[in-house]
């Protein structure tokens, strides 16, 4: 089944069918879809209105930078966890919510507005565009299935590609484009791919993997300008003229929709309590949240598919049930990244580290991360699942880094 198989999804509309909904969900990503399912599973009253800027029915994002870009999969979209939306959800595609009034309990798009009893914000994040781009420069971004379709169409006729940025998406995309057969260069201001996030030792492995599939990795270099159509100037004076450019330079979280509302928004993310509640009738799930975590004991932000699903499950449930049946967000955040044929597993609170301890394993490695107080704050593994499971267990216990190193 693919998302283009429209018969498996509720009818998509262009306008809401009512003026008032028991629940409105903004966003059709992992957080929004999972929230809709758990809300209805918990017998929340319908119908539910789901509004999304996406032009496609809900699909999984992680394959877009992997199998879809490498050519293993067509850019048709896999339904989220293999299933469509449940009955009782009205889906409005290609619709942008421009205003939310929490007190009046209304959401508005350009040509309509509706009232809600409860609201779930799952607006995720948007790809940042490249500041150095001049007018008319042809630069791809990669967030949506539609972005992936356009990128794949360009990749089909391209021989050379430049990926700008060495976060997870930049690294995955560079490896996938190389596997598709393109000559790929990756440019990053970091000293090594993902060095800031994962430390020097892991970064050096990732660089090796990228180079092994043919990616030319240019570290410590920034893009000064990109002129139309694709003339790239680097800060070392080099000029490049690739057939395709992908900018993977980070994201802007989508919580700003609640700016100037009674909910607190910090750095584009909406603050919530442990129940993912931001206000009396508003819950938040996924990348747009800065949510109090039951185990971490502080607000954390995650940008992971599995965690957005988990948060959506909690937000949807809590929006449906009474106060005394609320669930807390306390699962340990983590995600997998596939760079070429290498799967990295990473679990961390996500707010940085001060020490990184790298250990070789028979077929892989583990990196343990500690903070300045000596607490374990993350684990990264390659071919070492026992360490990953142990790491998650130790994170759950808020164990010291020294326990992990035993």
* Residues at the contact surface with ligand FAD, assessed by CB under 6 A: 26-32, 51-54, 61-62, 64-65, 96-97, 122-125, 142-143, 169, 254, 257, 286-288, 303-306, 308, 335-337
CB of 288 to ligand FAD, least distance (A): 6
Nearer to ligand FAD, 247 or 401 (CB): 247
Q: How far, in Å, CA of 115 to CA of 108, rounded?
A: 9
Phi, psi of 151 (to 5 degrees): -65, -45
Q: Would you say 26 and 51 are in contact if contact means Cβ atoms under 8 Å apart? A: yes
CB of 308 to ligand FAD, least distance (A): 3
CB of 295 to ligand FAD, least distance (A): 19
Q: How far, in Å, CA of 54 to CA of 64, rounded?
A: 14
CB of 178 to ligand FAD, least distance (A): 16
Phi, psi of 50 (to 5 degrees): -110, 120
How many Cα neighbours within 13 Å face the side chain of 325? 11
**Strand partners of residue 92:** 13, 51
Q: How far, in Å, CA of 361 to CA of 347, rounded?
A: 18
Q: How far, in Å, CA of 269 to CA of 229, rounded?
A: 34
CB of 386 to ligand FAD, least distance (A): 21
Nearer to ligand FAD, 65 or 221 (CB): 65
Nearer to ligand FAD, 203 or 288 (CB): 288
With 0-12 CB in 10 A as exposed, 13-18 as middle and 19+ as buried, what is 136? exposed
Q: How far, in Å, CA of 67 to CA of 21, rounded?
A: 38
Q: Would you say 147 and 36 are in contact if contact means Cβ atoms under 8 Å apart? A: no
Nearer to ligand FAD, 101 or 236 (CB): 101
Structure tokens at 181: 């057969």
Nearer to ligand FAD, 203 or 347 (CB): 347
CB of 147 to ligand FAD, least distance (A): 8
Q: How far, in Å, CA of 224 to CA of 133, rounded?
A: 9
80, containing H or E segment: none
How many other CB atoms are found less than 10 A from the CB of residue 101?
A: 12
CB of 103 to ligand FAD, least distance (A): 19
Nearer to ligand FAD, 54 or 387 (CB): 54
Nearer to ligand FAD, 127 or 188 (CB): 127
Q: How far, in Å, CA of 226 to CA of 17, rounded?
A: 45
Nearer to ligand FAD, 185 or 339 (CB): 339
Count of all residues that appear for the chain in the document = 406
Nearer to ligand FAD, 27 or 193 (CB): 27
CB of 369 to ligand FAD, least distance (A): 18
Nearer to ligand FAD, 369 or 375 (CB): 369
CB of 78 to ligand FAD, least distance (A): 12
Structure tokens at 96: 């942008």
Phi, psi of 12 (to 5 degrees): -95, 135
CB of 322 to ligand FAD, least distance (A): 26
Q: Would you say 50 and 91 are in contact if contact means Cβ atoms under 8 Å apart? A: yes
């Amino acid at each position: 089944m693919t998302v283009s198989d429209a018969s498996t999804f509720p009818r998509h509309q262009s306008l809401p069918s009512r003026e008032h909904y028991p629940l409105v969900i903004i966003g059709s990503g992992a957080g929004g879809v999972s929230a809709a399912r758990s809300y209805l599973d918990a017998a929340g009253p319908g119908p539910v209105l789901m509004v999304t800027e996406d032009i496609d029915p809900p699909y999984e994002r992680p394959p877009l930078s992997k199998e879809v870009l490498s050519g293993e999969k067509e850019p048709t979209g896999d339904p989220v966890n293999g299933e469509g939306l449940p009955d009782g959800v009205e889906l409005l595609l290609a619709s942008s919510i421009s205003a939310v009034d929490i007190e009046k309990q209304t959401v508005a798009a350009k040509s309509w507005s509706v009232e809600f009893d409860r609201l779930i914000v799952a607006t995720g994040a948007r790809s940042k565009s490249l500041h150095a781009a001049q007018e008319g420069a042809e630069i791809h971004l990669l967030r949506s299935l539609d972005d992936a379709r356009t990128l794949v169409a360009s990749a089909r006729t391209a021989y050379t590609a430049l990926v700008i940025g060495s976060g997870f998406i930049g690294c995955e995309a560079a490896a996938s484009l190389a596997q598709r057969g393109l000559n790929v260069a990756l440019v990053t201001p970091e000293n090594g791919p993902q060095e800031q996030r994962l430390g020097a030792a892991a970064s050096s492995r990732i660089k090796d993997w990228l180079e092994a599939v043919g990616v030319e990795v240019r570290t410590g270099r920034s893009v000064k300008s990109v002129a139309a159509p694709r003339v790239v100037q680097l800060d070392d004076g080099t000029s490049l003229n690739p057939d395709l450019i992908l900018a993977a330079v980070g994201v802007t979280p989508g919580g700003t929709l609640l700016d100037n509302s009674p909910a607190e928004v910090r750095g584009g993310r909406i603050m919530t309590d442990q129940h993912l509640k931001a206000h009396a009738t508003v819950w938040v799930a996924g990348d747009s949240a800065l949510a109090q975590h039951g185990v971490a004991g502080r607000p954390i932000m995650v940008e992971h598919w599995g965690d957005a699903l988990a948060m959506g499950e909690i937000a949807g449930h809590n929006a449906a049930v009474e106060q005394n049946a609320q669930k807390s967000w306390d699962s340990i955040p983590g995600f997998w990244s596939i760079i070429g044929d290498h799967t990295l597993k990473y679990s961390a609170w996500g707010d940085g580290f001060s020490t990184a301890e790298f250990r070789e394993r028979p077929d892989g490695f583990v990196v343990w991360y500690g903070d300045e107080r000596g607490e374990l704050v993350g684990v990264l593994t390659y071919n070492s699942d026992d360490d990953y499971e142990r790491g998650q267990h130790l994170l759950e216990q808020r164990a010291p880094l020294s326990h992990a190193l035993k």
